[in-house]
């Protein structure tokens, strides 16, 4: 369900409320839509990174990343509700006894029938990194890093392109061992072979199917060779 409270979103009023409902039904539908639980995404990420420093300032490296995401408070669209109830009225004689007023009330409460997806995305990516370290030969090593990656999401069986901007710092507790803290902004773009629209229904080609933005904090430990 599209949960954006914006002009033109048919999920706000729904089809029964907007078509046959009263003004009170429309206002109640909009209010309950706005107050319903919002979708949430949680995730876990682990990575193994190797970096080679050039003149103690510039770094180049690679990493292997594993990401998993779960979604909660998901809901089906009111258009789905319209299709199901419309089909039921055509095929089930007992359902024809359900009044349109009752259907309008059910539709109004539909955003509150939520479910959870524990496997929204499970991805493995290989990344190339470029970084700049601000201090040389210091116990505290702040840096900025950009990353470009390629991999696959096993849930949708699609290709993934990953880009990240990372601000972090290493704190050396010995000459070899350091603690790592990072703030990471990541964008995932997924591509898969799909069929086209009605205009080119049988045109199967690779298309962009979704994007996901992740903001996270990472903590770790590393070795300096």
Mean pLDDT of the chain: 89
pLDDT of 203 > 80? The answer is: no
197 pLDDT above the threshold of 80: no
pLDDT value at residue 173 = 94
Residue 131 host element (H or E): strand 114-133
Helix (H, G, I), strand (E, B) or coil at 107: helix
- Judge residue 89's burial from the number of C-beta atoms within 10 Å of its C-beta, 0-12 exposed, 13-18 middle, 19 or more buried: middle
Q: Please say whether the dihedral angle defined by the alpha carbons of residues 9, 13, 19 and 22, taken in this order, is positive or negative.
A: negative
**What six digits make up the tokens of 107?**
């539709």
Q: Pull the structure tokens for residue 41.
A: 């995404």
What integer is the mean pLDDT of 69-80?
90
pLDDT score recorded for residue 201: 58
Residue 3, pLDDT > 70, answer no
Instruction: Give the domain ranges of the chain.
Output: 1-35+77-112, 41-70+118-223
Total-model pTM: 0.76
Contact criterion met (CB below 8 Å) for 191 and 158: yes
User: Tens digits of per-residue pLDDT, 91-103?
Assistant: 888 888 888 899 9
State the distance between the two ends of the chain, measured CA to CA, in whole angstroms. 51
Tokens describing residue 80: 């789905």
CATH fold of 41-70+118-223 reads Porin (2.40.160)
3-state secondary structure of 66: strand
Instruction: Give per-residue pLDDT as tens, 159-179.
Output: 999 999 999 999 999 989 999
- The secondary element (H helix, E strand) that includes residue 78 is helix 78-91
Number of neighbours of residue 2 by Cβ within 10 angstroms: 13
Percent of the chain whose pLDDT exceeds 70: 92
In angstroms, rounded to a whole number, what is the distance separating the alpha carbons of residues 179 and 169?
Answer: 8
């Amino acid at each position: 369900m599209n949960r954006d409270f914006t002009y033109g979103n048919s999920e706000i009023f729904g089809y029964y409320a907007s078509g046959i409902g009263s003004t009170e039904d429309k206002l109640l539908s909009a209010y309950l839509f706005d107050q319903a639980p919002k979708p949430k995404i949680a995730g876990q990420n682990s990575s193994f990174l190797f970096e080679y420093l050039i003149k103690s300032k510039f770094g180049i490296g690679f990493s292997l990343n594993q990401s998993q995401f779960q979604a909660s408070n998901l809901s089906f669209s009111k258009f789905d509700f319209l299709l199901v109830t419309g089909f039921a009225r055509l095929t089930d004689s007992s359902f024809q006894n359900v009044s349109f007023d009752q259907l309008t009330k059910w539709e109004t409460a539909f955003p509150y029938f939520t479910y959870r997806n524990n496997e929204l995305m499970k991805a493995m990516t290989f990344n190339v990194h470029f970084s700049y370290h601000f201090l040389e030969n210091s116990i505290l090593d702040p840096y900025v890093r950009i990353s470009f990656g390629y991999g696959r999401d096993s849930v949708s069986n699609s290709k993934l392109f990953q880009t990240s901007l990372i601000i972090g710092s290493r704190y050396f507790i010995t000459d070899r061992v350091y603690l790592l803290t990072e703030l990471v902004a990541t964008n995932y773009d997924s591509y898969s072979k799909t069929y086209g629209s009605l205009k080119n229904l049988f045109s199967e080609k690779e298309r962009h199917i979704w994007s996901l933005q992740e903001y996270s904090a990472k903590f770790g430990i590393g070795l300096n060779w």
